[in-house]
Amino acid sequence: MSSPGTVGEFVLPSSATFCYQHAVARILPQHGAASRARPIINFMRSVLRAMLYVGLLALGYWCGFSAHRDYSLLMMDDGVELSRRSRAKPAAVTNETPATVEGETTPASTNTPPTKPNTAKKVTTTKVEAAGEENEDTGSFHLSRRVSSIYLRLVGCTLGLAVSLVGLGLVVAQDFGHVLKFGLGKQVSYVSDKAARTAAYEHAEQVAMRGQHHEAIKLLQAILLKHPGHAHSLLKIAEIYDKELQDFPRAAQSYELLLEQPLPAEQWGWIAIRLSNIYTGKLAQPQAALKILQRLAVDFPETQAGGKALKRLAMIDKAGLNEDTKKEV
């Protein structure tokens, strides 16, 4: 811990020491006040969040109720309009005398004078019909205006309901996202472990292609920490040690670890052949190479690598070498 006259490893002059102490004395009370005000801020946030929940729920309820009401009214007005249009108009009343049929006798004529047509009644009937048609047109016009207003109100309430539901869903997801392992403002990964492992392996391959072999090995070893026994990573590490760095002891160790994994028979065989070549040609360990060849010949004799191992073992037996004098395989 630094003394009052020092900051880190630097010694301050007396005036600078006074300024430093004065600044620290001003900062510490402010920090304490901020820590004391934090519970109040958290409480206010909780209150505002509760008010937001209530507001969104009230808006959603009101918009949903209004949309249902307007939809019902719209369907009701459409039914009234259809019933009104399907209603037949009454037959027009006329003062025309019915035509006489030929051969039909007419009543005997009398001395009474012929009656004049009632023109006043005809005019009254025409006015009533005109007034009825005008009232019907006026009613249809008002009905169409009402339907239009209800339709617009229905659309607005539906949009308001959708907005309130979306907002409520976002707030719930943010507050209770830790339960579902989801949080707004955080990076959410829907990539599976296998896909992430493949991406990390491809990145390590690119690093190795740029010649950064040690960095690539570190990346591959990081993959093995999360996914022990990943055959591709083990094989890549062994190939880097074998072909790029020519560190044959570590290459042999990596090949040994790789042979312990469940591999396809053909792949296992060729890795065993390569390991036997390292033991004989690079490390001068023919005994270890002989064990690898014998295991390959016993476990996978049907593979091409197994056939090659059988030929090598036959050559060793034909040469009459025993285990104490075998120098190469």
What is residue 92's predicted lDDT score, i.e. its pLDDT? Answer: 46
Determine the average pLDDT of the residues in 64-69: 87
pLDDT beyond 60 at 82: no
Residue with tokens 């990539």: 191
| pLDDT classification of 299: cutoffs 50, 70, 90 | very high
Determine the average pLDDT of the residues in 5-23: 48
Residue 45 corresponds to which tokens in the numbers above? 């946030």
Which of 33-47, 177-191, 245-259 has the lowest average pLDDT?
Answer: 177-191
Q: What angle, 0 to 180 degrees and rounded to 10, lies between the N-to-C axes of helices 193-209 and 231-239?
A: 10
* Gap between the Cα atoms of 19 and 45, Å rounded: 38
* Gap between the Cα atoms of 91 and 78, Å rounded: 26
What is residue 261's predicted lDDT score, i.e. its pLDDT? Answer: 92
Determine the average pLDDT of the residues in 47-73: 88
**Alpha carbon of 93 to those of 114, 243, 253, 275: distances in Å?**
22, 113, 115, 116
What is residue 191's predicted lDDT score, i.e. its pLDDT? Answer: 52
pTM above 0.85, yes or no: no
Q: Mapping DSSP to helix (H, G, I), strand (E, B) and coil, where does residue 303 land? A: coil
* Gap between the Cα atoms of 275 and 278, Å rounded: 5
pLDDT beyond 80 at 297: yes
What is residue 170's predicted lDDT score, i.e. its pLDDT? Answer: 87
Query: Which of 229, 174, 82 shows the shortest CA–CA distance to 220?
Result: 229
**Alpha carbon of 192 to those of 195, 196, 244, 253: distances in Å?**
5, 6, 32, 31
Q: What DSSP character marks residue 212?
A: -
What is residue 143's predicted lDDT score, i.e. its pLDDT? Answer: 63
Q: Which residue has the higher pLDDT, 10 or 23?
A: 23
